[in-house]
Chain A
Amino acid sequence: MRTLPDFNEPPVIETVLGLQFDSLESFSIPHFGLYWSKIVADYPKFNVQPPLTHVVEQFGAQAWKPSSLEMGLAPFPELRCWFENDTENRLIQIQKDRFIYNWRKIKETEEYPHYDYLKPKFIEEWGRFCQFSEEVKLGNVNINQCEITYVNHIEIGKGWKSYGDLNKVFSCWSGDSSVNFLPEPEMVSLNTRYVMSEKRGRLYIIMQPGIRRHDAKEILQLQLIARGKPASSSIEDIMEWFDLGHEWIVKGFTDFTTENMHEIWGRKI
């Protein structure tokens, strides 16, 4: 039974469930192909991308260490590979310290499949990667961060018409002025972060204006990223952290946006 806020037409267009682990030192270019051979029936398309940087949420002075700062010549170019399904709405991303599972909206009519549906898909694909890792003896996969991201598109004309209307979209933005000097803003971006309870991680909320290529519409791209360390590398602890991160994203999204927008998106709970 769903207890978190829920919407009939949420503006989400992409969700990402990602794991970051200590770098698999023996992982090299051939492993991309070996792994692909295991999933190619489901993910027949590939795409090479630059790698994501290693990011670890730190709290206070206790934990800081320059874990990713290494000097020297890289033995081979660092890469990230995308493996996409036929319709390109499912994506697995791999690099020597990352495993990422994406759902993306490809067609306007496609509905967000909800976290409860995506969870078992992630578990299945992560299990497949762990099995592969064992088979080719990549060593222990020691998870150091879980990351969950939701990307939302808030279209112009649906609750806002100009940047002077942002108080109708975001509850934290009043749009008021003290001495009535400033005109309506020409453009606005927001960048905020919050510490999750018991320092289990951080939630980042980023709003950036943009133009969507598909239909040339002006949008507000609202991205919520929750990142933190699970209690262990077990699948139970990983999913426990993802549930927490998902809760922070859904409640954070609901808190960050106005009731006016909730009505437009058809809030059910």
Chain B
Amino acid sequence: MIATAEKEPKRSWENTDISSLTSIRYSEVISLRPDYTPHWLKDALITLFHIASLPENWDSYGGPTPSSTAVNNALTFMRAVQVEDLPVPNIVPVPGGGIQIEWSIAHRELELEFLSDGSVEYLEIEDEKPIHEDKIIPANNSQLQSLLLWLTHAATRKNR
């Protein structure tokens, strides 16, 4: 079961200067091509990289810094999602060094948890009830497509 991270209205890390915390090479940049960048990706990357640099004990319960494996898998996933018609996802750190990405459209919600050991789990929620959960293989494009298809069809179904 995917643990649902606590949603706070204000994220404490978002205004933090993280430059002294990270070990990532200064020159490393994720390029954004205007003709190839979904509108939500820029904000999502900024949030992801802030979360990636959280210090140890970021949650005051001894939570570790998100693992580079989890961050890189989340990054690879987000760059693979070439779908314009999505809202900006909610991205949160989860206990154990993982990252959770959540998308909500109408009555459906998709939660993807990138765990520190490199595995990825998802949970489909409909009308606020969990309906399906499983593991997926990171970078498996066909699995990714079907999950997003399920999510983006929410609006269609609701309108019926």
Contact = CB atoms under 8 A, between A and B. Distances in A.
Nearest to B23: A214
A188 B22 CA distance: 28
A151 B34 CA distance: 19
B25 A214 contact: yes
Contacts of A210: 29-32
Interface in A191-248: 208-216, 218-219, 221
A13 interface: yes
A247 B39 CA distance: 38
Nearest to B17: A215
A107 B26 contact: yes
A211 B49 contact: yes
Question: Interface residues of B toward A: which range?
Answer: 20 to 34
B131 interface: no
Per DSSP, chain B at the interface is loop
Contact of B46 (A108, A209, A211): A211
Contacts of B24: 213-214
Interface in B36-76: 37, 39, 42, 45-50, 52-53
A213 B26 CA distance: 8
Question: Interface residues of A toward B: which range?
Answer: 20 to 34
Contact of B33 (A14, A189, A219): A189
A214 B26 contact: yes
A34 interface: no
Interface of B: 17-20, 22, 24-34, 37, 39, 42, 45-50, 52-53
Interface of A: 13-14, 88, 104-108, 110, 151, 153, 186-189, 208-216, 218-219, 221
29 contacts: A13-B26, A14-B27, A105-B26, A106-B26, A108-B26, A151-B27, A186-B34, A187-B32, A188-B34, A208-B32, A209-B32, A209-B34, A211-B45, A211-B46, A212-B26, A213-B22, A213-B24, A213-B49, A214-B19, A214-B25, A214-B49, A215-B18, A216-B48, A216-B53, A218-B42, A218-B46, A219-B29, A221-B29, A221-B31
- What 5 A-B pairs are tightest by C-beta distance, nearest first? A216-B49, A215-B19, A210-B29, A187-B34, A211-B45
